Structure 1
């Protein structure tokens, strides 16, 4: 999983270091072209010295596909489940983001990566889980995506890809890859798992949840707590099943949003749920692989460095394998890892068990000179922060690896895109 640094081997510390300063390096030049520059500085409003204080704005890499993008968010409520992380919540609430090829984007503003409330929490929380990220000097709320809010969808039935992020990560931290896939012709649905996700901002409050932003309950790596880890994955699997039912509601022309917000024009007709895949990072990769095993409606899956076993209750002993690793899977499953993941030896046991099935459909790939968070937007952000003097080279390498983002970002995109193009082509 990834409690902001990854499943097993993740370091979910309580406090991160302060702001780091290093000299910018010329080696990042190509990466800055890929990401559209090294970010921008924005004057912070308010305060006596506001005119002299400027916060860095990270930039997301541009998608490379032919389609302009629309994006919308949905607030979903499952009345059949209590929330597993907070006993006061008698209904399970979720937030999802849907990205899709747009018919036109005229008159529809470009969406921010994060809502203001979520960005404020992210700024203080993320450095606790990713030591080395700056604790100040970054305006996360100002980062813009390449998708346009509620733009009308193209009237074409398209395959659907579910995205589940790493443990402790919000769905927004997978924006770059989701935009790339949507620009190539898929509808991409990113799922937040509240209570697990670092921060989730809802459009409404409730008597049981009076604050709009809900934060993670994790205070350490769930891989060190077998019961916590089991609850996390079981909850994610149930969340994923529920999202699929709500997408069917959407595809039928009804409004699944619990707040009654309208849908973008044409979106209901853009979903081909007969062709649905799933991908995820870390705990999301665990979820994606096991969901493929459990749900015959899922046609293909990508596991980006997620464990396929439970943590052991006895130090030095292996934990039980997930059913997908014990029994294999008869539909395509891609496993992608890095050589810089501290938990790679532990990961290898469960992956090897899966790959040993003689009639299975699983394949494995590795991206060299990278680390666990290269599958997130930190692949673009960390080098920019290093160049801006807000992060050391050592911390950047521990987070995403030393590979230039001009190579690492396309490498991740190409593996995932090529896999789904083979098994769920967006024709």
Structure 2
């Protein structure tokens, strides 16, 4: 896969080919020898703690949209055909976390699948030597929420990424008083464990224009489904849905801005280096924040697509496209352990230490949403 699988032209499969590839890919990843790290002592990766005053609780929910057929699933009559399913993780300020365990970043089944998928989804990541299932988040499963109604933020990840690779930024926002909803997009995300089965990404290489259009349309519909269902979730009493924002990375940024432009329930949005040339957003009147890096391979298209779109721009220097997610913390540790090359590090997160970029993103997002969701 190329450096930016979430957008841009290139060869893309048709729906039937995509669906069959997904089913075959699942079997190959689950059964193949690459699914298990061979190292005697695989590396255990750690994520940094959030910086806010509140501990973080976490709950996960499965949502089904019976009005939509999943575009990445097989054709009618083939195994696996059915309604669109979406997984979400909700992170929130907790009253206490004592006695509530920290959630793993990936479930055991997801970790086994991701071990084989990692070098396909992000070229240069190791096919062995990492215990992906041992990484813990700082979200405590089922912890009681802090009383009070708090602004809500939806997150859509980069193309090929699962929602859990946006954990660190989401935890930081939750620790500062937001309810953050991480949305997975099955069939697009590297892997998603649904209640009844595992879904793996259908993306193999950079998607063509038609596939990218389907990705974004599907993501926007997923985000609307989540907005529709927030009021019925057990955590609804701590969500102030009148103060709802959205942010997304890469294809998730494209989808976030499209959702913002088309849904009055969303008050403000942040675009983390996503193209904006699919839908008309130039006249968007709601607050918008844009981030970009100086190491993005799609810089020319990005610049052209942002022309005339309102909103504050923030540029991150010495950074690469995947610095916005947990890759910013995982890749340097992989490099220190000799499991990725310097070239892979530079291609994914940039040549500079990511601390400055991460700090800027956290600070700017907190300030932006505090100002516009107050």
Same fold (TM over 0.5): yes
Structure 1 gaps of 5+ residues are: 14-46, 206-211, 251-262, 311-321, 356-361
2:287 aligned with 1:300: no
Tell me whether 228-237 or 80-89 shows the greater mean CA deviation.
Answer: 80-89
Alignment partner, residue 274 of structure 1? 242
Match of 2:224 among 241, 245, 257: 241
- Following TM superposition, by how much is the alpha carbon of 1:338 offset from its aligned partner in structure 2, in angstroms? 0.3
For 1:206-262, what per-residue CA distance to the aligned partner results, in whole angstroms no more than 9, with x for missing partners?
A: xxxxxx21101111212xx22111111111111100101110222xxxxxxxxxxxx
For 1:176-210, what per-residue CA distance to the aligned partner results, in whole angstroms no more than 9, with x for missing partners?
A: 1010100000000000011111100023x2xxxxx
Alignment partner, residue 216 of structure 1? 201
- Following TM superposition, by how much is the alpha carbon of 1:11 offset from its aligned partner in structure 2, in angstroms? 9.7
RCO (CA 8 Å, sep 6+): is it higher in 1 or 2? 1
What is the CA–CA distance in structure 2 between the aligned matches of 1:281 and 1:130, rounded to whole Å?
Answer: 15
Kept in 1, the 8 Å contact 2:6–2:160? The answer is no
2:348 aligned with 1:399: yes
Aligned to 1:330, the other structure's residue is in SS state coil
Tell me whether 405-414 or 392-401 shows the greater mean CA deviation.
Answer: 405-414
What is the CA–CA distance in structure 2 between the aligned matches of 1:397 and 1:418, rounded to whole Å?
Answer: 29
Kept in 2, the 8 Å contact 1:11–1:129? The answer is no
Alignment partner, residue 152 of structure 1? 144
Does the C-alpha gap of structure 1 residues 5 and 126 become closer, same or farther in structure 2, counting only changes over 3 Å?
Answer: farther
2:110 aligned with 1:115: no
- Following TM superposition, by how much is the alpha carbon of 1:7 offset from its aligned partner in structure 2, in angstroms? 3.5
Structure 2 gaps of 5+ residues are: 13-35
For 1:306-326, what per-residue CA distance to the aligned partner results, in whole angstroms no more than 9, with x for missing partners?
A: 00114xxxxxxxxxxx2113x
For 1:35-80, what per-residue CA distance to the aligned partner results, in whole angstroms no more than 9, with x for missing partners?
A: xxxxxxxxxxxx9xx9x81010111121000001100100111111
Aligned to 1:156, the other structure's residue is in SS state coil
Match of 2:60 among 73, 77, 82: 73
Alignment partner, residue 117 of structure 2? 125
What is the CA–CA distance in structure 1 between the aligned matches of 2:361 and 2:255, rounded to whole Å?
Answer: 19
Does the C-alpha gap of structure 1 residues 103 and 412 become closer, same or farther in structure 2, counting only changes over 3 Å?
Answer: same
2:44 aligned with 1:57: yes
Alignment partner, residue 102 of structure 1? 94
For 1:369-423, what per-residue CA distance to the aligned partner results, in whole angstroms no more than 9, with x for missing partners?
A: 1010001100111111111111111210111002213322212211212211211
Kept in 2, the 8 Å contact 1:3–1:11? The answer is no
What is the CA–CA distance in structure 2 between the aligned matches of 1:117 and 1:97, rounded to whole Å?
Answer: 17
2:328 aligned with 1:343: no
Aligned to 2:345, the other structure's residue is in SS state helix
Alignment partner, residue 40 of structure 1? none
Alignment partner, residue 5 of structure 1? 4
Kept in 2, the 8 Å contact 1:132–1:392? The answer is yes
What is the CA–CA distance in structure 2 between the aligned matches of 1:406 and 1:344, rounded to whole Å?
Answer: 22
TM-score, normalised by the number of residues in structure 1: 0.77
What is the CA–CA distance in structure 1 between the aligned matches of 2:308 and 2:160, rounded to whole Å?
Answer: 27
Does the C-alpha gap of structure 1 residues 332 and 273 become closer, same or farther in structure 2, counting only changes over 3 Å?
Answer: same
Alignment partner, residue 410 of structure 1? 359
- Following TM superposition, by how much is the alpha carbon of 1:131 offset from its aligned partner in structure 2, in angstroms? 1.5
Aligned to 1:389, the other structure's residue is in SS state coil
What is the CA–CA distance in structure 1 between the aligned matches of 2:165 and 2:298, rounded to whole Å?
Answer: 21
Aligned to 2:100, the other structure's residue is in SS state coil
Aligned to 2:281, the other structure's residue is in SS state helix
TM-score, normalised by the number of residues in structure 2: 0.88
Kept in 2, the 8 Å contact 1:200–1:214? The answer is yes
Kept in 2, the 8 Å contact 1:4–1:12? The answer is no
Matches for 1:255-270 after TM superposition, within 5 Å: 263=234, 267-270=235-238
What is the CA–CA distance in structure 2 between the aligned matches of 1:403 and 1:393, rounded to whole Å?
Answer: 11
Kept in 1, the 8 Å contact 2:250–2:272? The answer is yes
Alignment partner, residue 287 of structure 1? 255
Does the C-alpha gap of structure 1 residues 8 and 78 become closer, same or farther in structure 2, counting only changes over 3 Å?
Answer: closer
2:153 aligned with 1:170: no
What is the CA–CA distance in structure 2 between the aligned matches of 1:367 and 1:6, rounded to whole Å?
Answer: 20
Kept in 1, the 8 Å contact 2:249–2:271? The answer is yes
2:317 aligned with 1:368: yes
What is the CA–CA distance in structure 2 between the aligned matches of 1:6 and 1:373, rounded to whole Å?
Answer: 11
